[in-house]
Structure 1
Amino acid sequence: MCNEDLKQLLTNEVCENLIAKKLKTNEFKIINTIIKPLSDAPQGFSGTHFFLKFEITTKNELKTVKFFLKFKLDLDASIFYRDGNNDIYGREAEFLQLTTQYNVDWAPKLYDYVGERLLVLEDLSERGFTINVERGKFNLNDCFAGIQSLAKLNAFYFQLIHDKKKLNPNFSILKEYSNFFKEVILQLETNLGKEWCKATIDSFNCILDEMPTSNLKIKKKINEKFNDLIEYLKPVENQYKVISHGDLWSNNIMFSNENGSPRCCFIDYQLLRFLPPAHDILTLLHLNTTTEFRRQHDLNQFFDYYYEQFSTELNKIGLDSNVVFPMDVFKASINTSMVPVLLLNCMVKSFLLMDFTRLSTYIAENDEGLWTKERAKIIKHELDTDEKYKQAIFEEFQVLIDEIVKLL
């Protein structure tokens, strides 16, 4: 059914407009259209992904024109649509429309958003980008490439604000683009949000109860800080906050090493937030590296590199980092973002550190239960049966505990 619905959206007119937009000419003829799933496995919690390839003739030459498709699931096929107001595909389309206008190199180009259901994007493999890093095991070069792209993303935000305020001094991104920052899961306004938050606390307690370094006081403080996290994520006007990607795990980060220079591109902008730049930096580092990597490498080198790159990107557009976002403000935001990021890191890694085959089975057999009511039960089973998972998740939670102890 999914393929049939997809084909109905890809009318001849839509296909011709896509090709014309990419080639900047109407002088072509479509010979063949090929739609291929990204893989046989489930690809997303809210949609499925496809490669779209056209074989065309133009000026007596045979050419191929490629795109990448993100096709939104039916409203009853994903828990993320349960409350009926999570237009996460519309959010991504609106954001990528902006980045495409600015011709950024750290996000895919948007060619169309068809029927409020189908995102037609640049096929990043044509620029040499792939997802080829083992989950949670970025190396030093991967981290520096990711940090550089974050500096570009944040500079883009300040350029956007600068341009908008030249036209309207009272411009507010939270008012103009309110759809960007609507929290999907970590909030208490919807049934999904309430169930997700309860499942997270229950699974945290399940893990903490088995850790010898944990105690009642630590567990109580972590529960308290999780409630603070919900407030921290709410969008509030602040000159030192930026558009945050919000979901920087390895499957949303692509790398290219063409010409021997590592580059990074971010994909999947459905969980955008409005947070300090330090949030995405810390997320990238904690969510995509091992605890051993973080012990071996001083994270301050990444913060310094970020600010250097951020300043360079701002200088290109005539802005001064010392005015826009002073170093002391940036360094202070690292401290305020640390515990929220570690909480999110532990939440996400309680899934990602599972054996991939078993995780895929849980998703296929009990998708909603894994995210909500059955999560703690599943994690308890993993702790009891997989010593490798137990050791790895304990190490991540220990990083959180070490920070929490400083607050007691």
Structure 2
Amino acid sequence: MELRPEYSAVPSWLDTDFFETTLRNAYHEKPDLRVIKVFVRPITAKGDNLGSALYRAVIDCEIESNSLKYHLIVKSFPTGDLFRQLVVEMGVFRREFHIYKFTLPAMHALLNKVPDLKESTFSARNFPTSRTDTLVLEDLNADGYQLAERSHQLDLQHCVAALRTLANFHALSIILSINVPRSMETFRESFYIEERREMIAEFLEPNLLSLADLVEGWTGFERFGDKLRMVASQAVDCIINVAKAKRGSIAVLNHGDFWVNNILFKYNDYHAVTDVKIVDFQSCRYASPALDLQYFIYTSPDESVRTDHLDLLLREYHASLGSTLGVLGYGDYLFSMDQLRQEMKDKAIYGLVSACTDLGTVLGQQDCGENSIFQRTFQHLLLHFEMNGIL
């Protein structure tokens, strides 16, 4: 295996034998496939506080004198003891493993019943392995999919394409929950629950209070300091409440972390979006669709989209949801636009808290000072939340 010195963090088991076995299992029609060379490098640096360790692999193969090349992504448990323990307790990796092994294949089987949707997929192909702590996925970058520039946030074209894909994912989860009610049990809320109240408070309250102090120093925005302190005092109760799936209420399988860095776009020669893939299913939860929508809307669109096209985004989402349910014969299970708007209103605190805690990360901004991208974006959001009675 060819490795560069700066990539010494690659585990030794990511070797020729591992990839050869994995590829042969995936391609039963190619039992003579031989791996000739493997190049692996980490995608994430040591110390990154993520739910998994990520590696990019390029595999040179040979079969019947023909050369083949595979581009793969490997996800494994984080190596740090603390993160490994947290991932196990919250079922983070188990949830994503379940998504790729059972949920996505079941969704794709539904799509295969409709000729026009037969080739549709939501994410990368999974290559099953014998390791229960590892996922091997196709590298979507090699097929032309790419991330949008997150510091610029998403324009209307990107937002509509992303929400149509999310709507299809949600629609198929509705059908799965009808056909196999127990299929959603794996995705019960595991973080925003009463048993983790102390942990949630340790994360939310200091972040919100620190943000309140920062905002209070911005000319013309001083009033928002006390408003955010009030949010901090109620945030834990509110978030636990809105994350809970309530009997009889609208519920879908949420992606749980639907923001610009987990959405890959493919373009034509005119830079129009032609397809969308979703990645990173570690935070999936069975809950109101408004949670995914709130998180996306208040972290990822640019300001003009959020200001001028918010209702359009909801209508595009709802139309795609209805179209997928209808073509598969489940149109009667579509909730109304009025119900969706009410869900968005009821779950508005989730969007507010998400913006407060995650916007800096989404924008890739360490600088939150005067005239920073974060300051300009967050000031617009504060005024938006105030105008809509959320702050």
Structure 1 residues 237-248: aligned runs within 5 Å: 237-238=247-248, 240-248=250-258
Structure 1 residues 221-260: aligned runs within 5 Å: 223-225=233-235, 227-238=237-248, 240-258=250-268
1:269 is aligned to 2:281: yes
Structure 1: how far apart are the matches of 2:330 and 2:73?
Answer: 34
When structure 1 is superposed on structure 2, of 30-39 and 136-145 the one drifting more is: 30-39
Q: In structure 2, what residue type is equivalent to 1:302?
A: L
Q: 2:222 aligns with which of 212, 216, 234?
A: 212
With over 3 angstroms needed to count, the CA separation of the structure-2 counterparts of 1:22 and 1:51, relative to structure 1, is farther
Q: 1:200 aligns with which of 202, 207, 210?
A: 207
Q: Specify the SS of the correspondent of 1:36.
A: strand
Using the size of structure 1 for normalisation, the TM-score is: 0.79
Q: Specify the SS of the correspondent of 1:300.
A: helix
Deviation readout 1:129-167 (Å, 9 max, x if unpaired): 111333351011101110110111111102212331xxx
Structure 1: how far apart are the matches of 2:51 and 2:216?
Answer: 33
Structure 2: how far apart are the matches of 1:298 and 1:151?
Answer: 17
Q: 2:353 aligns with which of 340, 343, 348?
A: 343
Equivalence for 1:301: 312
Aligned length: 369
Contact 1:235 1:273 in 2 (8 A): no
Contact 1:188 1:194 in 2 (8 A): no
Structure 1: how far apart are the matches of 2:7 and 2:133?
Answer: 12
1:184 is aligned to 2:196: no
Contact 1:253 1:265 in 2 (8 A): yes
Contact 1:185 1:192 in 2 (8 A): no
Structure 1: how far apart are the matches of 2:42 and 2:80?
Answer: 20
Contact 1:343 1:400 in 2 (8 A): no
Structure 1 residues 8-407: aligned runs within 5 Å: 8=13, 10=15, 12=17, 15-22=20-27, 24-38=29-43, 45-76=50-81, 78=83, 81-82=85-86, 85-97=89-101, 98-103=103-108, 105-112=121-128, 114-135=130-151, 137-164=153-180, 171-174=181-184, 176-177=185-186, 180-184=187-191, 189=196, 192-210=199-217, 211-214=221-224, 216=226, 219-220=229-230, 223-225=233-235, 227-238=237-248, 240-258=250-268, 261-295=273-307, 297-320=308-331, 322-353=332-363, 355=365, 359=366, 383=368, 387-404=372-389
Q: Specify the SS of the correspondent of 1:248.
A: coil
Unmatched runs of 5 consecutive residues or more in structure 1? 165-170, 360-381
When structure 1 is superposed on structure 2, of 226-235 and 249-258 the one drifting more is: 226-235
With over 3 angstroms needed to count, the CA separation of the structure-2 counterparts of 1:288 and 1:113, relative to structure 1, is farther
Structure 2: how far apart are the matches of 1:141 and 1:263?
Answer: 12
Structure 2: how far apart are the matches of 1:197 and 1:309?
Answer: 34
Structure 2: how far apart are the matches of 1:140 and 1:127?
Answer: 24
TM superposition shift of 1:226: 5.0
Structure 1: how far apart are the matches of 2:10 and 2:56?
Answer: 15
Using the size of structure 2 for normalisation, the TM-score is: 0.82
Contact 2:10 2:41 in 1 (8 A): no
TM superposition shift of 1:330: 2.1
Structure 2: how far apart are the matches of 1:42 and 1:221?
Answer: 31
Aligned residues: percent identity? 15
With over 3 angstroms needed to count, the CA separation of the structure-2 counterparts of 1:199 and 1:185, relative to structure 1, is farther
With over 3 angstroms needed to count, the CA separation of the structure-2 counterparts of 1:76 and 1:191, relative to structure 1, is farther
Q: Specify the SS of the correspondent of 1:395.
A: helix
Contact 2:167 2:317 in 1 (8 A): yes
Contact 2:266 2:274 in 1 (8 A): yes
Q: Please give the root-mean-square deviation of Cα atoms over the aligned residues, in Å.
A: 3.2
